[in-house]
Amino acid sequence: MLRTERDNNVREQILVCLGNPHAAAAINQILTTCGFAVTTTYEFSQFVEAATMDRYKAIVTATAMIDRIREATALPILNVEAFTSERSDDAGSIVDGRCLLSGALAQRMIDFLEEPEDTSQSNALR
């Protein structure tokens, strides 16, 4: 069952790096609704600057940015494209003709953040 509020009061910091502002806003809304603190960047240079703050637990991005992000940081990466499907009439948020499976993304992020530190990196969706 998807939890919409974190059990503890510590808000995990998530860094989102997406060039599409509509997709970034949708991801931000999903994650903040689930109790995460989100920083959003739209360009790689913004991402690099934000990543230096060393407070983030994970990064959410799209396939096109993964290789560049891996060169800049060792943080675990969740590929948002793994949580999208083709548009359907009964779907939720639509971004560029694709439906964001918000429940799946939020639940995966929660599960990922609850994993022990030593296994979380190897289990991240990359």
Please state the pTM of the whole predicted model: 0.72
- What pLDDT does residue 31 have? 87
Domain map of the chain by residue range?
13-120
Q: In this structure, are residues 112 and 126 in contact, taking their beta carbons and an 8 Å threshold?
A: no
pLDDT given for residue 89 in this prediction: 46
- Distance between CA atoms of residues 52 and 72, nearest Å: 9
- At 98 the pLDDT is 52
Q: What is the pLDDT along the chain (126 residues), one digit of tens a residue?
A: 344 444 556 688 999 999 989 889 988 888 888 888 999 999 999 999 999 887 899 999 999 999 999 999 998 998 888 776 554 444 444 445 455 566 777 777 777 766 655 444 444 444
CATH class (in words) of the domain with range 13-120: alpha beta
Compute the distance between CA of residue 4 and CA of residue 103 in angstroms, rounded to an integer. Answer: 10
Q: What is the pLDDT of residue 90?
A: 45
- Three-class DSSP labels, the chain: CCCCCCCCCCCCEEEEECCCHHHHHHHHHHHHHCCCEEEEECCHHHHHHHHCCCCCCEEEECHHHHHHHHHHCCCCEEEHHHHEEECCCCCCCEECCEEECHHHHHHHHHHHHHCCHHHHHHHCCC
